[in-house]
Amino acid sequence: VLEGYVDPRERRREGPFGDHTGYYSLVRDYPVFHLTAVTRRARPIYPTTIVGRPPQEDYWLGKATERLFLPVIRLLLPEVVDMNMPAEGIFHNLVIVSIKKRYPGHARKVMTALWGMGLMMLAKTIVVVSERVNVHDLSEVAWRATGNIDPRRDLMIVEGPMDDLDHAALRHRYGGKLGVDATEKSALDDVAQPWPDEIVMTVEMREQVTRRWKEYGL
């Protein structure tokens, strides 16, 4: 147990530190904690974690938090099916969400709602896909996102609060955000051309190939 005090008027230079972003944090002024007492066990255990370019130990803490908060998000946004904040996105830099899309603009509604939920305001990029997409399969997400978007129609750029450690932001703690509507489009979305069917192998074809596999000599 650490005891002490913080003077809200006092700041000192801190950094650079190797952080969970995979980069060294920038040197900035931060509050100062004055330590006055330490209380500990006779044989204390010091819990710590190593941070750095992901995935490191702290990634699994973030993943657990994602799983814990998903049911809470569903209470407010029942159309949300699943969510993934992959290691490559440093938690908040990339949020992939699958939804039960029911009307035009539904993906944008979900993006803006998520940006309005507590620390989800720090999410830099939100990609919304349809309900049947496995958000944990980054290859599938990339395929659908690149195939289902028209940049002029499906990208939304806004500005808002950013993470304290985001070195690429417009300025400290404030910058741009990207929303990507990677859902399939239909006549309800007023698209200019018909949306094609996805190639699907039928159960019968799969069973036939399996049954005759030896005949193919492959």
Q: Hey, what are 42's tokens? A: 């006779």
Is residue 108 within 8 A of residue 182, CB to CB? The reply is no
Query: How are beta strands 125-130 and 155-161 bridged, if at all?
Result: unpaired
- Could you tell me which residues come within 8 angstroms of residue 107 by beta carbon, excluding any fewer than 6 positions away? 99, 101, 128, 179, 181, 182, 183
Strand 80-84, strand 95-99: pairing? antiparallel
Give me the active site residues, please: 19
